[in-house]
Amino acid sequence: MKRRMIRAMLCGLLCWSVPLLTSCWDRVEVNDIAIIVGAGIDQMDGKQVKLSAEIYIPVESTGEGQESGMKAGNGNGKTFVSSAAGSSMAEAMYKLQERLSRKLYWGHNDIFVIGQARAEHGIEDDLDFILRYVRMRERANIYISEGSAVDVLGIIPRLEPNSMEALSELSKTEISITVDLKEIIERIVETPDETYAIPYINRGKLLTDVSHVRNPNVPYFRGMSLFKKGKMNGNLNSDLTWGYFWITNQIKGNTIISLKMPEEQTLAVLLTHSKTTLIPSITPDGKWKMKIKVRGEGNLLQNTSSLDFMNPAQHKAMIKKTNEEVEMSIRQALKVLQKKYKTDVLDFGDRFRKLAPKQWQKEKKNWSTMFSEIETELDVEINIQRPGILNQNIKKMNRVNN
């Protein structure tokens, strides 16, 4: 009798615990959720913030199988954009939920696009919400868009299922970098003025399908936007961004260095790898200096100049020209960052902190002024290793006339 009772109790316990595994209070069915694939944050009038979410529309697979097979290039998911405004992001999310029949699901969201007006107003409130809410992910990438974010969200590019996929894929190429939430929080905690740089993308109106047909050259990325103390205070255009990448060792392979040559000559180098080292130093009389050492390798991509690759002296001249080009772009970026914006997104502060901790503690309170006065010394060496497949440039290939 006793054994039977114990067995009955154990079975009862098992049966009772199984429903609990589905978490009665917290269960959400899969077809009750709205999957967010991209989020946009914009500034509205009167200090309101508008939260837009690009939501994935799941396609019914049975019955339309043959049709969607033929349109395979478009991807199988369409999205729609829904937005709502509130006095803070949390309130905006609540209002957004009111408009949707399904529960918002943030687990697949990898992108936050912040409109320029909001960035200039200050994004710290939004960052607090994104980090604190348990359902968001720290791996999400952040972008600033010129204009408003909601325009960027609704674009359906030709090659990818939605604009957010396009942005992620573009970030992985050499054109731009990814900046995720964790890096931003690290920069906020560690740098004295909370300085960081976030990729800056073009206005939505330039990127829509229609103008893509007319302006196929419009890139997604315009450069980097600079932040200080949570507010956007400037941006770097694509040329200056290139210099920024050189200094912070974020240049990826396959970058094309195109040199400025006189009168219809062209010279271009395809970079394979490079490494930038920053060497800080403090001279005995208290001047702070930074030496930027760049070492890289590349292959010749295009050469219709008078310089011949196979000639050692002219090869050296080619290398010298390439070095000068890189140095010039680094100097331009440094000038803008140091003099115009006084924003240390280059991690100079961190280097000095590692070099001389005690002096850094004293100087870090007015780091913006100190940063603008740092003298920089450049040491660039890009070795051009291979000429590609041709060994003579096209203009000199005519043997009949020689």
Partner 1 sequence: MKKKISSFQMFLLMFQMILSSSVLLMPSITTMLSGKDMWMTPIFSMLVGYLTVWVAFKLYKLAPHGSFVKLLESSFGKVIGKGMNILFIIFQVHIIAIATRDYGEFIVTNFYLKTPVYIIIISMLILCAWVVSGGIEVLARTGQVFIPIITICTLFIFIFLIPELDPSTIFPMFEKGAAPVFKGSVVVAGWFCQIFLVIYILPYVKQENTIQKWGYICVTGIGLLMLIANITVFMLMSESASFYNYPVFTAARYIAYAEFFEHVEAIVMMVWVLGEFFKISFYYFTIYLSLSETLELQKPVVIILPIGLLLLLSTFWLAKDFQMIGDFISKSGTLYILTGFFIFPLVIYALTVIKQRLKA
Q: Could you list the residues that contact partner 1 (CB under 8 A)? A: 17, 20, 23-26, 107, 134, 137-139, 182, 185-186, 188-190, 353-354, 357, 361
Contact between 183 and 167 under an 8 Å Cβ cutoff? The reply is no
Alpha carbons 83 and 86: distance in angstroms, whole number: 10
Backbone angles phi, psi at 251, to 5 degrees: -70, 130
Strands (E), 237-355: 256-259, 267-282, 288-303
State the minimum distance, in angstroms, from the CB of residue 73 to partner 1.
Answer: 20
3-state secondary structure of 15: helix
Q: Which is nearer to partner 1, 138 or 377 (CB)?
A: 138
- Nearer CB in complex with partner 1: 282/317: 282
Compute φ and ψ for 314, nearest 5 degrees: -75, -30
Strands (E), 14-77: 33-43, 49-57
Shortest Cβ 146–partner 1 spacing (Å): 28
* Beta carbon nearer to partner 1, 134 or 310: 134
Question: 238-274 in b/e burial notation, b at 16+ Cβ within 10 A?
Answer: eebbbbbbbbbeebeeebebebebeeeeebbbbbeeb
The two three-digit tokens of residue 103, written as one number = 């529960």
State the virtual CA torsion across 290, 296, 301, 302 in degrees, nearest 10: 40
Residue 13 vs 394, nearer CB to partner 1: 13
The smaller minimum CB distance to partner 1, of residues 173 and 361, is found at 361
CB of 92 vs partner 1, minimal distance in Å: 19
Ramachandran sector of residue 248 (left: φ over 0; alpha: ψ -120 to 50; beta: rest): alpha
Q: How far is the CB of 138 from partner 1 (least distance, A)?
A: 6
337: left (phi over 0), alpha (psi -120 to 50) or beta: alpha
Task: Give min distance, CB of 23 to partner 1, in A.
Answer: 5
Pick 141 or 323: Cβ nearer partner 1: 141
Q: Which helix (H) or strand (E) holds 205?
A: helix 204-207
CB nearer to partner 1: give 139 or 229. 139
Amino acid at 83: S
